[in-house]
Amino acid sequence: MIDGLTPTQPVIAVRDLTKRFGAVVAVDALSFTLEAGSITGFLGPNGAGKTTTLRLLLGLARPSSGEALVFGRPYRDLPNPTRRVGALLESGDFDPGRTGRNHLRALALASGIDACRVDELLELVELDRAAHRPAGSYSLGMRQRLGLAAALLGHPALLVLDEPANGLDAAGVHWLRGFLRQFAAGGGTVLVSSHLLAEVAQTVDHALIIERGRLVATVAVDQLPGSGALEQLYLELTGTDES
Amino acid sequence: MIAQLSSELFKQRTTRSARILLASMIGVTVLVVCLHVFTLKTAELSSAANQPKVFGWGTTIGALFAALAGAISITAEFRHGTIRPTLLTNPHRARVIVAKATAAAIAGLVIGVLAAGMVAAIGSSGLALRGIPITLHAGDFTQMIAGGAAGAALWAILGTGLGTILRGQVGAVVGLCVWLLLIENILIGNVPSAGRYAPGASDGALAGLMPDAGSATLLTPIAGALLLVGYAAVCAAAGLAAIERRDID
């Protein structure tokens, strides 16, 4: 690379990423890059390898071969990663006996983030009145919002969300869409996985469609002819319309 | 590292299981000591060889609950999935486990002092109430509380390592209970020449006393301390190797 001539570094760079579990190839030579300020949908049927890819990207699992870089580095080499990357992988990732506020405070302490940021986020995700209750008593939608608040603690520039709309009601999905648009408009980058196309079709700028661990299409949504076109393409590529 | 430690200490204070563990420990301690002090015959309790066995329960209970606190601090993360946000926040897994072991050791010190102190207080008052003279000296009580606290801290580190290796909460809890309450007693009772080198008996040596063991059987406090440090270090090292190597689901 020559200084000054290189374009801006991609926020996410995945190259030939492969993950095998025994004989099963969960992620198969996957390559893609994400530029700043966009919302990218990571689409595919259940079991296509979306969650495994995100785990590899976030350093929770090691690739069998290839690499996944965030801001030019493996996640595990990022200094203070929560200040750059916010992630929501599973909605139930909290101790059911700990209150919502204390869940966030434990994470904030580990990243050296001030406790007032916790209260700010509880208000943003509209959990301020439930914050003193054990998280085990939360509804599915409240759990998702608690997870989203955890992802936002460090004012990240990149959000990685795995099925964030699961369990949200219509108003919740609407709120999430608005939130993601606003986040991207402020220069943030979002990678959001979903197996339900309708949830994300109206929100994403790009779509990565994966099937059996392989990337089958990269789509710029605004270049598609109409609102039903992404769905049609998705169904053709993933073969889920056969039945 | 300091940030991670403060987070781990905060986690310890904010779970239901920590409160349940502390309450159970206090209940078990009171029950076990009262059962011994008020059911054994005067002749049995007066013997200088038997009193350390009664007071020795403080050592075992302290070690057990400290080890459980350590093991639960990491197995709870696997059980509830909080290991994911924890490692996303701090991807240096070894540092997370070291912080957890340190937090557990601090809790272990408190648990050890509490268990040995309660046994000393309830045991001596019970004996005094029955008019039985206490054969232990001030030095014995000091070693029992200080050694019991240090031993419990080491057992907490051992428990954290074991929990990191096993990941499953039920397996870790059952394993620790079976080892400390059954296996150790069988070893020290049936094969004292080998049993005295086991981790529970090493803790007994450090504190100067344990249930079901005559003081003659136990190693010197220094030897017990070194051996227990070794056991804790091996478990912690194996836990660190396991967390670095494995993928997180």
CB distance from A79 to chain B under 8 Å?
no
> Checking phi first, is residue B212 left (phi over 0); if not, alpha (psi -120 to 50) or beta?
left
Antiparallel, parallel or unpaired: β A65-70 and A12-21: antiparallel
pLDDT tens-digit readout, A138-162: 998 899 999 999 999 999 999 999 9
Show residues of chain A in contact with B4, CB under 8 Å: 110
Cα separation values, B160 from A228, B64, B74, B153, B169, Å? 53, 12, 7, 11, 11
Relative orientation angle of helices A170-185 and A140-152, to the nearest 10 degrees: 10
The dihedral formed by the CA atoms of B117, B120, B122 and B128, expressed in degrees to the nearest 10: -150
From the CA of A122, how many Å to the nearest CA of chain B? 17
From the CA of B103, how many Å to the nearest CA of chain A? 13
Chain B's closest residue to A153, CA to CA, is: B89
Chain B's closest residue to A91, CA to CA, is: B81
Rounded-to-integer distance, Cα B243 and Cα A2, Å: 39
State residue B199's pLDDT score. Answer: 97
State residue A132's pLDDT score. Answer: 97
Cβ of B6 and A92 within 8 Å?
A: no
pLDDT tens-digit readout, B80-113: 999 999 999 999 999 999 999 999 999 999 999 9
pTM value is 0.93
CB distance from A18 to chain B under 8 Å?
no
pLDDT tens-digit readout, A5-45: 455 789 999 999 999 999 999 999 999 999 899 999 999 98
Query: Residue A3: pLDDT above 60?
Result: no
b/e per residue, A60-76, with b = 16+ CB within 10 A?
bbebeebebbbbeebbe
User: Percent of chain B, pLDDT > 90?
Assistant: 88
The dihedral formed by the CA atoms of B93, B98, B99 and B102, expressed in degrees to the nearest 10: 160
State residue A243's pLDDT score. Answer: 40
Q: What is the mean pLDDT of chain A?
A: 90
Q: Which of A 113-172 lie inside 8 A of B, CB atoms?
A: 134, 150
pLDDT tens-digit readout, A187-198: 999 999 988 777
pLDDT tens-digit readout, B204-224: 999 998 887 766 789 999 999
More confident: A170 or B30? B30
| CB pairs < 8 Å spanning A and B | 83
- List the structure tokens of A203: 């929100």
CB distance from A93 to chain B under 8 Å?
yes
State the pLDDT confidence band at A242, using cuts at 50, 70 and 90. Answer: very low
- Residue among B230, B197, B176, B228 at smallest CA distance from B68: B176
CB distance from A236 to chain B under 8 Å?
no
pLDDT tens-digit readout, B144-161: 999 999 999 999 999 999
Long-range contact pairs involving B170-178 (C-beta distance under 8 Å, separation at least 24):
B172/B71, B172/B72, B172/B75, B173/B68, B173/B71, B173/B72, B173/B75, B176/B64, B176/B67, B176/B68, B176/B71, B177/B64
Rounded-to-integer distance, Cα A128 and Cα A118, Å: 10
Show residues of chain B in contact with A60, CB under 8 Å: 84, 87-88, 247-248
- Residue among B72, B93, B96, B75 at smallest CA distance from B3: B96
Of A43-47, B39-43, B160-164, highest mean pLDDT = B160-164
Q: Please tell me which of the candidates B4, B10, B91 has its beta carbon nearest to residue A59.
A: B91
Q: Please tell me which of the candidates B6, B82, B247 has its beta carbon nearest to residue A93.
A: B82
Cβ of A106 and B10 within 8 Å?
A: yes
From the CA of B104, how many Å to the nearest CA of chain A? 16
